[in-house]
């Protein structure tokens, strides 16, 4: 209960300071009322969502991810606003005491807020706001290929120029656009690598999150030396309260089987030998947990 009270007080302070920044820039009544109404609706929605949607027996879903995104895009900029406005208040209070000690009594203790401070604060707050807005809409599908050249002094000569494509943290339960995911798969296939490695987190929590995407990921072409994978932390189902250990184990087994369904060889504390000419290297897959 105490943490909810502390959180409520913090939110009120953030909202008050953010409103002061807006109020310094405009006195148009309907703009200020609209800002307050929208802010109130967002606060109510976020508190309601955290109280009703965040169920550890369900885990992450589109609604909880949307709520977290709304929380970040709303309060990171407002917290930045608060930092600027609170800093100005400190200066105003210091100035007030200096006036008191100097005997200047015909002026108010606190000077009025300066418009340019609010302008700077809003400009600074716009940076994380726009960045988060882009990231949560267009940026999450802004797939890029990062090419790195790695040097090993003891690498067998036959493997000089050997190419690897690594993909990771799929979190398929967060997907909502088949066209964009197919585009990502095409980018993988265009690399024409010697081997493809998938390094974990095929889902957020539940194996069935991947069901709509199995055929899409199965279209990743198998290169000469194969497709291999390991498990990530989300694949173990530790972020959900399961009805029973049996349900948790069944989900874990289903997640492991997903790798077979998309034609990846899942390595669980095991290795395979990749042979090229007279040379070979060992590819080792280690479990994320000891189970």
State residue 185's pLDDT score.
96
Cα(98)–Cα(94) distance, rounded to whole angstroms? 6
pLDDT for residue 111: 64
Asked if residues 265 and 274 have their Cβ atoms less than 8 Å apart, the reply is: no
φ and ψ at residue 53, rounded to 5 degrees: -95, -30
- Between CA 61 and CA 73 the distance in angstroms is 18
For residues 104 and 166, the model is more confident at 166
* Strand segments (E) across the chain: 164-167, 195-198, 227-229, 265-266, 270-276, 279-285
Q: In this predicted structure, what is the pLDDT of residue 155?
A: 92
How many angstroms separate the Cα of 82 from the Cα of each of 19, 87, 276? Answer: 9, 8, 61
Q: Which residue has the tokens 């307050």?
A: 36
- Per-residue pLDDT reduced to its tens digit, 229-266: 999 999 998 888 899 999 999 999 999 999 999 999 99
Q: What is the pLDDT of residues 86-119, one digit of tens each?
A: 888 888 887 777 777 776 555 665 666 778 888 8
Check whether 85 has a pLDDT greater than 80. Answer: yes
Helices 115-137 and 2-25, axial angle in degrees (round to 10): 120
| Statement: residue 5 has pLDDT above 90 | no
Using 50, 70 and 90 to split pLDDT, how confident is the model at 194?
A: very high
As given in the structure block, the two tokens for residue 220 are 């990743």
Supply the pLDDT for residue 236: 92
Above 90 in pLDDT, residue 214? yes
pTM: 0.77
Percent of the chain topping pLDDT 90: 57
What's the alpha-carbon Rg for the chain, to the nearest Å? 27
Torsion (CA) 78, 50, 240, 136 in degrees, nearest 10 = -40
- What CA–CA distance (Å, rounded) separates 240 from 206? 9
Question: What is the per-residue pLDDT across 172-193, written as a single tens digit (0 to 9) for each?
Answer: 988 888 999 999 999 999 999 9
In the chain, the percentage of residues whose pLDDT exceeds 70 is 94
SS3 of residue 97 by DSSP: helix
Average pLDDT of the residues in 192-202? 96
- Angstrom CA distances, 148 to 83, 158, 159, 165, 250, stand at 40, 19, 16, 10, 38
Would you place residue 30 in the very low, low, confident or very high pLDDT band (cuts 50, 70, 90)?
A: very high
Return all residues near 87 (Cβ < 8 A) that are at least 6 apart.
none
């Amino acid at each position: 209960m105490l943490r909810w009270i502390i959180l409520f007080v913090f939110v009120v302070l953030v909202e008050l300071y953010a409103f002061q920044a807006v109020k310094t820039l405009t006195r148009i009544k309907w703009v200020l009322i609209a800002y307050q109404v929208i802010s109130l609706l967002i606060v109510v929605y976020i508190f309601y969502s955290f109280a009703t949607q965040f169920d550890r027996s369900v885990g992450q879903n589109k609604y909880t991810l949307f709520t977290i995104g709304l929380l970040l895009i709303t309060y990171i900029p407002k917290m930045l606003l608060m930092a600027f406005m609170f800093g100005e208040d400190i200066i105003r209070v210091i100035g007030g005491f200096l006036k008191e000690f100097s005997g200047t009594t015909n002026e108010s203790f606190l000077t009025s807020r300066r418009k340019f401070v609010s302008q700077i604060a809003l400009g600074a707050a716009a940076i994380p706001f726009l960045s988060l807005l882009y990231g949560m809409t267009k940026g999450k599908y802004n797939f890029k290929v990062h090419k790195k050249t790695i040097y090993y002094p003891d690498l067998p000569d036959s493997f000089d120029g050997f190419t690897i494509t690594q993909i990771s943290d799929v979190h398929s339960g967060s997907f909502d656009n088949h066209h964009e995911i197919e585009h990502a798969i095409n980018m993988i296939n265009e690399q024409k690598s010697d081997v493809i490695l998938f390094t974990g987190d095929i889902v957020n929590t539940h194996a069935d999150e991947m069901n709509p995407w199995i055929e899409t990921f199965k279209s990743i072409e198998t290169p000469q030396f194969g497709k291999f994978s390991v498990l990530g932390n989300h694949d173990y189902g530790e972020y959900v309260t399961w009805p029973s250990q049996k349900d948790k184990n069944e989900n874990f087994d289903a997640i492991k089987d997903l790798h077979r369904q998309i034609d990846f060889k899942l390595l669980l504390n095991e290795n395979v030998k990749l042979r090229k000419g007279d040379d070979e290297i060992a590819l080792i897959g280690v479990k994320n947990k000891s189970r």
